[in-house]
Structure 1
Amino acid sequence: MGDEQKKLSTLWLLRYLKPVKGRIILLFILLIGTTGLQLVNPQVIQRFIDTAAGSGGVAELLELAALFLVLAVVNQLLGVAVTYLGSDVSWRTTNRLRGDLLKHCLRLDMRFHNRKTPGEMIERIDGDVSSISNFFAMFIVQVVGSFVLLAGILGFMYTVNVPIAAVMTAFTLLSVLAMMIIRNVGVQSSNKDREASAALFGLIEERIAGIEDVQANGHVPYVMNRFYRSMRAVFLKGRRAWMLRVVPFNVTVALFTLAVTAVMLLGVRSYMLGEIGLGMLYLIYQYTQMLNDPIERLGDQVQEFQKAKSGMLRSRELLSQRTEIMDGEVESLPEGALSLVFDQVCFSYNKDKPVLRNISFSLQPGERLGIIGRTGSGKSSLSRLLLRLYNLDSGTIRIGGVDIMKLTLPALYRRVGMVTQDVQLFDGTLRDNLTLFNESVSDASIMETIEQLGLGSWILAQPEGLDTQLSSGGSSLSAGEAQLFALARVFLAKPSLIVLDEPSSRLDAATEALLQTGVNQLMQHSTGVIIAHRLATLEQVDKIMVVGDGRLLEFGSRKELAANPASHYARLLQSGREEELA
């Protein structure tokens, strides 16, 4: 199982590294060059020392000094190129991963998103991938370069002094072996560290989003208490993760101390016996110090590996999530307004608590249905099922005679539009927000639609018209204006079936009356489903459906139900108590 998991991890990484294989090859070439220069420079200094000690000429010393400077400059330039290319490879690969994670999350069903806060998802998509990015940025450079440098140092030392080379080799092998054995010691703790950070970001996002409620209800002390507890969890788990991640480094430091002591004792002994010169003694010392650098870099990369592996495991776990909403194969619907049929539809968010029970009704193309019922009766759930935000427990929904389970999602969304109670506006111009960044929609079409909704004068009053910038979240608009924008956005798409969920809940009576006229015009060539609390919103619908406790209590012609004193709808009209619907 472990080997299979490693194989899958390797294949998963190769998938993202393959597009940058050319840059990786160039990176290897540059690595060999810079490593070679690191090995050559100490030898130039050795020759300089031996030449000076042997009363060499000034000209030769100047040549060696100039050579050393040239090699040092070239080495620095190659080092910059290696660092740049390593970072480039890192960001190219991990940005593709970020894109895949975001696209995958956007395709997951609402049951998944209901369990996750936006702050947690930001940490999963960006925070985890950043740890992978930091690992990739220097992993190839540091690990491969370190091994090449180690091989070069040890190879050269075996040509100079076998006992010293043997001590260096033993130190290297023991250090690498220790890091391989304990490389995963901090992975689990790093994973918990990332989870604690995700929980903290989720808390911050949630509380900032609800800042009005927090301040208005005096909940700041409670929020701060939650924040401090989350911060404590981040600190404790982060400290434990760091302490476990530095274990490999501490082991290599201890081994290096022993190795340097042994090498220097052997080197000084050889010098005292006249077996090596002063320059060679320097070279042995310098190579011993250089031997520690790649070992330290490997230790650092083991720490980065533990953080990166945690990020990779969490990213793979996120990518392994599967949506309940499976795409169908039918890619088209009949032209014009679409019929709508609910046949024995049952649904629940939790299996032990049914939300809809055996809902059955039908609409002919072009008809309008008004849905009323108390809060929690299941009205909004009907629209969510229609848009396939959730799967049915049982039953069938047909649009234009086609089972929505057999439709591709793009085919469904092209022909069905919905305005929800929560309006989402984006950081962009008025035009961008109305067209959802679709440049093919003309300004003439936009103005025609917003004129019908009564927004024309408001648009013209803006300093830059359709080019006026909106801030993210729509804070520059009132709630009513934002709702009108959402309506205009849907109608611009010219859907054949339109679902309006509380379309006038944020509007005053005068604006609602104006809006109703525009909605009637825009819905002339489409089938409509209007979910409402206020009965005045439903004066132009053809049929009425009353739901309660997830059941269909009443369905029929609006005029017939209004004329029948025994109907739920007639009693509501007669009583005039619209608050009963709240």
Structure 2
Amino acid sequence: MLQSKQQSMAWLLRYLRPVSGRLGILLLLLLASTGVQLVNPQIVQRFIDTAAGSGVVSSLLTLAGTYLILAALNQLLTVAVSYLGNDVSWRSTNLLRGDLLKHCLRLDMRFHNVKTPGEMIERIDGDVTHMSNFFSMFIIKVIGSFVLLAGILGFMFTINWPIAAVMTLFTFASIGAMVFIRDMGVKSSKDERGASAALFGFIEERIAGIEDVQANGNVPYVMNRFYRAMRNVFLKGRKAWMLRVVPWNTTVVLFAVAVTAVLLLGVHYYLNEKISLGTLFLIYQYTQMLNDPIEQLGDQVQEFQKAKSGIMRSQELLGSRSEIAEGTRTALPEGPLGLEFEHVHFSYTPDKPVLHDITFTVRPGERLGIIGRTGSGKSSLSRVLLRLYNIGSGAIRVGGVDIRELSLSALYRRVGMVTQDVQLFDGSLRDNLTLFDGSISDSYILETTERLGLKQWIDSQPEGLDTHLKAGGSSLSAGEAQLFALTRVFLTQPSLVILDEPSSRLDAATEAMLQTAVDQLMTHCTGIVIAHRLSTLEQVDHIMVLGDGRILEFGEREKLAKDPASHYAQLLITGREEDLA
């Protein structure tokens, strides 16, 4: 338990350390504000006693002026504390958000397959937002509250020790109660954050599938699920709130008892002429002020419970480990890279194998065409080659090097892939083509797009390469998006390219243009073409036919085409491309 708390504190200090200077300034400002708050009631006491004793007007004006100056100074200090506190909060929590996002991007696909984007947004932003007060003001306000409490109680002991003793008893009782029940709402707060994440995941999932929802008349069903998810958030949030406010309610009761006792004692001493009217006011004012730091501590206990739930969820996320262990090798042979699969077995789930004993070789510069029905394992081959998943057994070598020995950056620098779904980002056309790589020149971009047939479309845009594209690619047709993805890959000058259904979204004319461009651009690299259309495979060297995760056929394209008994020849004869779907 103690070790866990120490680890949590070390984890927090990691994000507070970069803003430690600002935290120091924030603490000094808060101490100055606390000092002003302690002095002002004493000025009012002197003003009342001076006025009651028929003091001179100049003294009253001096006291009033001093009070106004200190009140204005306290307001300025309050604004400065609020501004600097928010600055510290955003700086520290943004560091945490960045670490969470970077960590998620490095996790393997098995993790992302069970986490919706909406849920991850809530984990990365929502949970951290609930920690913002903890990072900025928790420590400062706790220290400031204790300093103010110590100042009030210390000064009260110099005025009247019985009243000071009552106030001290109330203070220790309130703090003790808050410490004792400080964790009461943590678990419920964590459950509340989980329910909120599930709601955001549900909304994201349904909006992403809006076409299916509308086309199948499922809007009422979706709304029913939405209301149920909202009710779950409400119920868990209400329970968490009720448990979090227990410390505050406890201090309210204790404060009512303390105020009653202090006022009775104060009036008693005043009626017996043991204290002045100004001192009676001072006692009343300090009693009211005593409640402010106690309330702040109560508020901070609530914030602590919310923050602790966020901390626990963030640590859980950062504790998730990718099954993909990076290698240390950073270099591959120059030129086109060969590819070897040796007895590769793979499955997404233990009870359902996807690839069975896959063994084949592609020499540097060759092109391999892969065909097979849906579910035969074609896309799975590309996923394990790019290390989106770990294989169960066997070995995959690129350029003679086992991909498990390579760093991921070294693998992705030399191996490129064009998928069926093209992801576009909110940014300029140039940034989308280069994936924000500023080292690629405009001339090379335009040269590549011209060879791929995309330059004419770029020239038609109002600002050329500076044209702004919206996320999702709604401004591109399916064919343009496919050419866009191909351009993006070839701008990196890969040594091994995987084309996953490159012509699945193209018409015949665009496909012919694409094929010409691919032939030109793949002259200096090895190619793997996963295809539905047989016409896409006319220029490959070898054909591999997959079925149920096994290699049904592998050989030279021309030989297989001439062999009537081969699967490939049968497909060519029948011309039934739907058999590949």
**1:174 is the counterpart of 2:173:** yes
Quote the offset at 1:523 in angstroms. 0.5
Aligned match of 2:61 = 62
Whole-Å Cα distance in 2 between the matches of residues 524 and 193 of structure 1?
A: 57
The CA deviation at 1:213 is 1.3
Match of 1:321 in 2: 320
Q: Secondary structure in 2 aligned to 1:523? A: helix
The DSSP-based 3-state class of the residue aligned with 1:356 is strand
1:567-582 paired onto structure 2 within 5 Å: 567-582=566-581
| Secondary structure class of the residue paired with 2:235 | helix
Aligned residue in 2 for 1:362: 361
Instruction: Look up the match of 2:247.
Output: 248
Q: Is the CA contact (8 Å cut-off) linking 2:86 and 2:136 kept in structure 1?
A: yes
C-alpha displacement at 1:529, in angstroms? 0.3
Instruction: Say whether residues 1:404 and 2:396 are aligned partners.
Output: no
Q: Corresponding residue for 2:279?
A: 280
Residue of structure 1 equivalent to 2:154:
155
Equivalent-residue separation in structure 2 for 1:456 and 1:131 (angstroms)? 48
**Which residue identity lines up with residue 34 of structure 1 in the other structure?**
S
Structure 1: stretches of 5+ with no match in the other structure:
none
Q: Can you list the C-alpha shifts for 1:551-572, whole angstroms capped at 9, x where unaligned? A: 0111110011111111111111
Per-residue Cα deviation, 1:278-317 (whole angstroms, up to 9, x for no partner): 0000000000000001111111111111110000000000
Report the equivalent of 1:434: 433
CA offset digits 1:412-440 (Å, max 9, x no partner): 01000001122100011111110011111
Q: CA deviation at 1:78?
A: 1.1
Asked if structure 2 preserves the Cα contact closer than 8 Å seen for 1:86 and 1:140, the reply is: no
2:521 corresponds to 1:484: no
Residue 138 (structure 1) shift: 2.4
Instruction: Give 1:23 shift.
Output: 1.3
Q: Which residue of 2 aligns with 1:114?
A: 113
User: Secondary structure of the equivalent of 2:204?
Assistant: helix
> SS of the residue aligned with 1:346?
strand
Which stretches of structure 1, 4 residues or longer, exceed 6 Å deviation after superposition?
Answer: none
Aligned to 2:497: 498
What's the counterpart of residue 547 of structure 1?
546
Query: Does residue 237 in structure 1 map to residue 236 in structure 2?
Result: yes
TM-score, normalised with respect to structure 1: 0.99
Aligned-pair CA distance for 1:136: 2.3
> What is the root-mean-square deviation of aligned Cα atoms in Å?
0.8
Partner of 1:291: 290
Gaps of 5+ in 2: none
Instruction: Tell me if 1:125 matches 2:112.
Output: no
Task: Give the AA of the match of 1:566.
Answer: A
Distance 1:100 1:272 in 2: 64
Deviation, structure 1 residue 519: 0.6
Determine helix, strand or coil for the equivalent of 1:524: helix
- SS for the counterpart of 1:530 is strand
- Give the residue type in structure 1 aligned to 2:517: G
In structure 2, distance between residues paired with 1:200 and 1:135 = 25
Deviation at 1:481, TM superposition (A): 1.2
Q: Report which stretch shifted further, 244-253 or 20-29.
A: 20-29
Q: Could you tell me which residue of structure 1 aligns to residue 144 of structure 2? A: 145
1:141 shift after superposition: 3.4
Contact 2:377 2:548 in 1 (8 A): yes
Partner SS for 1:178: helix
Matches within 5 A, 1:72-471: 72-471=71-470
Cα distance in structure 2, aligned partners of 1:141 and 1:388:
46
Distance 2:478 2:146 in 1: 62
Q: Percent identity?
A: 73
Residues paired across the two proteins, number: 581
**Per-residue deviation, 1:208:** 0.9
Distance in 2 (CA, whole Å) between partners of 1:480 and 1:212 is: 21
8 Å CA contact 1:82–1:141 kept in 2: the answer is no
Tell me the secondary structure at the aligned position of residue 369 of structure 1.
strand
> Could you say which residue in structure 2 is the equivalent of 1:26?
25
Judge conservation of contact 2:16–2:135 (CA < 8 Å) in 1: no
Deviation at 1:455, TM superposition (A): 1.0
C-alpha distance in 2 between matches for 1:430 and 1:89: 36
